[in-house]
Amino acid sequence: MTALLRYQGALLLRSQRWLAPVLLYAAFLAVGFRPGDPVPDSLGYSAAALVPVTAWLVRTCLSVEPDAARDCAAAAAGPVRVHAAALLTGLGWGAGAGGLGAVAVLLLGAREGPRLPTAALAGAASVLVCALTGAAVGALCARPLLRAPGYAVAAAGLGSLLALVTAGSPARVAVSGLVGGSVALPLGALAGAAALACAAGAAACLAAARRG
């Protein structure tokens, strides 16, 4: 699995297709966050932007490898593990970008307000919740579950939006908590996002094995 993760990571890095989603995330932050803004509010905003960005990164990882190369890797390691490695790579990049965004917010945000460790913990949890939710959306809106690229991109956009506005969605719970000024740890949302990502990932991996 380590070898597959390294391979997928190299593919994403060298293809430079990580650049567009990461730049989009940077643009979100640049537009919505000003140095001196309140920290909890800004952490919530930056985490919310992570949902579509991670969905995009996961979709990119699932489509960066041409079919022929994917077949070779699938014969070597099994289609489930190949698909899982691509999902985890996208999730990792999303969480990494979110982590950098949260660090920027913590360093540049308003000095008053909650203590730094408390805010950092809440920020890390919300980054994880939103990255996991975005990864679930990306896994469901990509091959092999949704192959037509037009529909898949539209579905990923719509799915990300729904994940942020639907009542009870883990991303919404985590983001609205922070935006409301609370830095309590969103443990329920974290568990929900993890369960959602596992279910979506498992569905996508099993479908990858069944449909080749």
Partner 1 sequence: MRLDAVGRRYGVRGPWVLRGVSLELPPGALVRVEGRNGGGKSTLLRLVAGIDTPTEGSITGRPRRTAYVPERFPAALPLTAQAYLGHLGRVHGLTRAEAARRAAQWLERFGAAGHARTPLAELSKGTSQKVAVAQALLAGPGLLVLDEAWTGLDVPARAELDRAVAERTAAGGTVLFVDHDPARLAGAPDRHYRVEGGALEPVRPGAGPGPRVRIEAAGPPGAVPPPGLAAEPLPAGGFRLTVPAGRSDAVLRELLTAHPAWHIRNVSDLP
Comparison of 17 and 103: residue with beta carbon closer to partner 1: 17
- Work out the number of other CB atoms within 10 angstroms of the CB of residue 1: 10
Comparison of 27 and 76: residue with beta carbon closer to partner 1: 76
Q: Is 200 helix (H, G, I), strand (E, B) or coil?
A: helix
Measuring CA to CA, which residue among 13, 9, 18 is closest to residue 60? Answer: 18
CB neighbours of 5 closer than 8 A, spacing ≥ 6? 85, 88, 89, 92
CB of 1 to partner 1, least distance (A): 9
Rounded to whole angstroms, what are the CA distances from 169 to 45, 51, 100, 152?
Answer: 16, 12, 24, 21
CB of 149 to partner 1, least distance (A): 16
Integer-rounded Cα radius of gyration of the chain? 17
CB of 8 to partner 1, least distance (A): 9
Comparison of 40 and 79: residue with beta carbon closer to partner 1: 79
Q: Which residues bind partner 1 (CB under 8 A)?
A: 3-4, 6-7, 10-11, 14-16, 65-66, 68-69, 71-79, 209-212
Comparison of 137 and 208: residue with beta carbon closer to partner 1: 208
CB of 211 to partner 1, least distance (A): 8
Structural tokens at position 183? 């830095």
